Amino acid sequence: MKPLTEQEIRAAFVNCTKGEAKRLHIPRDLAEQPWDDLDFLGWRDPQAPDRAYLAAESDGRAVAVALRSSGAASWQARRSICSLCVTTHTGGVSLLVAPLAGKAGKQGNSVGAYMCSDLACSLYVRGKRETGTRLHESLTVEEKIRRTVANVAGFVAKVTASPA
Ligand SMILES: [Zn+2]
């Protein structure tokens, strides 16, 4: 994806207030991120481990989503699959919940998805990070990348979809 600046990311948040977007944690090492190998940028707040964020491109524009860990721990030891990149982990998948954008989110509505806990889906898909648990798949890396991009776009669409 195209490298994003801190300002672009802060301006791209769709499901938190402007004040929150101004204050939330953005990685300091944006310039060193492997943008060429990223389908989206995902990160966690080191000061608040239940908070996670992702920034992706949608129709050529940056879209960023604020996420929260559900806090449920009982599933952690089990083998689980990331719903974005379809990587299998043992204990490396979190249920992350995003408040919906706009009014629906203010009313407490949210959408959840299982994701790689470190949000490094792009690197798992490309074989640049390993989980130790490998599900055999006959897809090529290109196909997996396309699938991840489509899954991320689908998730972002759910967050931004305003109910009629
Ligand atoms: Zn993943």
C-alpha 17 to ligand 1 mean position (Å): 27
In one-letter notation, the amino acid at residue 58 is S
Question: Is this prediction's pTM over 0.85?
Answer: yes
Dist. CA 31–CA 4, nearest whole Å? 9
The residue with tokens 């009313």 is: 107
Q: Do residues 104 and 112 make contact, with C-beta atoms less than 8 angstroms apart?
A: no
For residue 49, how many other CB atoms are within 10 A of its CB? 10
Considering only residues 115 and 75, tell me which one the structure prediction assigns the higher pLDDT: 115
C-alpha 153 to ligand 1 mean position (Å): 14
DSSP assignment letter at 85: T
Considering only residues 148 and 161, tell me which one the structure prediction assigns the higher pLDDT: 148
C-alpha 119 to ligand 1 mean position (Å): 6
| Positions of E strands within 2-47 | 41-45
What pLDDT shows up at residue 59?
A: 83
C-alpha 39 to ligand 1 mean position (Å): 11
Percent of the chain at pLDDT above 90? 78
Dist. CA 150–CA 21, nearest whole Å? 25
C-alpha 83 to ligand 1 mean position (Å): 7
C-alpha 13 to ligand 1 mean position (Å): 21
Residue range 58-68, pLDDT digits in tens:
888 999 999 99
C-alpha 88 to ligand 1 mean position (Å): 8
Dist. CA 104–CA 136, nearest whole Å? 39
Q: CA 132, 72, 85 angle in degrees (round to 5)? A: 40
